Amino acid sequence: RPSLKVEDLRVSIEGKEILKGFGIEVKGGEIHAIMGPNGTGKSTLASALMGHPKFEVTEGKASIDGEDLFEMEVDERARAGLFLAMQYPSEISGVTNADFIRSAINANREEGDEISLMKFIRKMDEKMGTLEMDDSFQHRYLNEGFSGGEKKRNEILQLMMLQPRIAILDEIDSGLDIDALKVVSKGINEMRSDDFGCLIITHYQRLLNYIKPDFVHVMMQGRIVKSGGPELAERLEAEGYDWIKEELGIED
Ligand code: ADP
Ligand code: MG
Ligand code: MG
């Protein structure tokens, strides 16, 4: 089973420490949700694991299947089985969505082991059906003129096509109407297997009405301050974050 392990991670941006001892382990078969108020470093975590150059890792470790992530180039992280939605470019003119996804799949495969065109087309048709996407999205240029919701749906298409071992999904639900939210959730739920672990980062609880996480973590001030099951997300929805701050004696 795949495993993503982050230990005591400290990350700074422009000299300011944002992540202050963050730790988590995500294994195959598990869906984890990280929730937390704005500005607590959730996206910083995703960017740091992705290898964004602006984010300086000052301490701690991150590994996938025991291999040090911070020793890998960004494309090596993908090849090791890590999927980060944001890792993929927002727009490339002149490259169709289908071509882009096919080369992303092949970039993760050995030379001579490329996916056949037939197999690719069949898989793409199937996944686009699940996500209720119009066929035209195959041939449109990547993300060009896609609405916010279409971009998110397309990110889930990339996820389903690439079949990574571990995925980190940051704010996959933001800007989605309820129908799009259901479809995106359906895609993620379909991915569930022992060979796949997922870390969902979200500000809102509503996504978790459709994707039942096994673990819910609350992040504040750059680290996880509380962990539990799905009931924790429900309590946050009902009561906000203040009770946790009080419990922990955290001041704003
Ligand atoms: P969240 O995703 O939890 O809302 P972020 O990780 O986006 O939080 O931001 C955490 C903190 O890091 C914020 O104070 C934010 O202003 C700061 N920050 C994030 N990205 C940058 C950046 N590119 N340059 C400078 N500061 C940043
Ligand atoms: Mg934010
Ligand atoms: Mg964020």
Q: What is the 3-state secondary structure (H, E, C) of 155-197?
A: HHHHHHHHCCCEEEEECCCCCCCHHHHHHHHHHHHHHCECCEE
**Minimal-distance CA residue to ligand 1 atom 24:** 13
Nearest bound ligand to the CA of residue 171? 3
Residues with CB under 6 A from ligand 1: 13-14, 18, 36, 38-44, 54
Tokens of 228: 């539990």
110 occurs within a structural domain:
no
Q: In terms of residue numbers, what domain contains 210?
A: 3-90+165-248
75 occurs within a structural domain:
yes
Q: 142 vs 164, which has greater pLDDT?
A: 164
Using only C-alpha atoms, the chain has a radius of gyration, in whole angstroms, of 18
Where is average pLDDT lowest: 12-16, 31-35, 152-156? Answer: 152-156
Confidence of residue 69 (pLDDT cuts 50, 70, 90): very high
- pLDDT value at position 75? 84
Domain count, the chain: 1
With the most atoms of ligand 1 within 8 angstroms of its CB, the residue from 11, 42, 43, 171 to mutate is 43
Q: How far is the CA of 49 from the centre of ligand 1 (A)?
A: 14
- pLDDT value at position 182? 93
- pLDDT value at position 212? 93
- pLDDT value at position 87? 56
- pLDDT value at position 252? 65
35 occurs within a structural domain:
yes
Spatial distance between the Cα atoms of 164 and 101, rounded to a whole number of angstroms? 13
Res. 85: pLDDT tops 80: no
Where is average pLDDT lowest: 5-9, 40-44, 203-207? Answer: 203-207
**Per-residue exposure over 19-57, b if at least 16 CB sit within 10 Å of its own CB, e if not:** beebebebbbebbbbbbbbeebbbbbbbbbbbbbeebeb
Ligand 1: nearest atom to the Cα of 47: 6
- pLDDT value at position 86? 61
Res. 77: pLDDT tops 80: yes
Res. 41: pLDDT tops 70: yes
Nearby residues of 248 by Cβ (< 8 Å), 6 or more positions away = 220, 225, 226
User: How remote is the C-alpha of 137 from its chain's centroid?
Assistant: 22
Mean pLDDT, residues 90-95: 72
105 occurs within a structural domain:
no
Mean pLDDT, residues 73-98: 80
107 occurs within a structural domain:
no
| CATH number reported for the structural domain that contains residue 238 in this entry | 3.40.50.300
Mean pLDDT, residues 216-231: 96
226 occurs within a structural domain:
yes
15 occurs within a structural domain:
yes
Res. 189: pLDDT tops 80: yes
Confidence of residue 35 (pLDDT cuts 50, 70, 90): very high
Spatial distance between the Cα atoms of 63 and 15, rounded to a whole number of angstroms? 24
Mean pLDDT taken over the chain: 91
Confidence of residue 157 (pLDDT cuts 50, 70, 90): very high
156 occurs within a structural domain:
no
Dihedrals phi, psi of 191, to nearest 5 degrees: -75, -20
Residue at 191: amino acid letter: M
- pLDDT value at position 88? 59
Spatial distance between the Cα atoms of 252 and 232, rounded to a whole number of angstroms? 21
Q: 194 vs 144, which has greater pLDDT?
A: 194
Q: Is the ipTM of this complex over 0.85?
A: yes
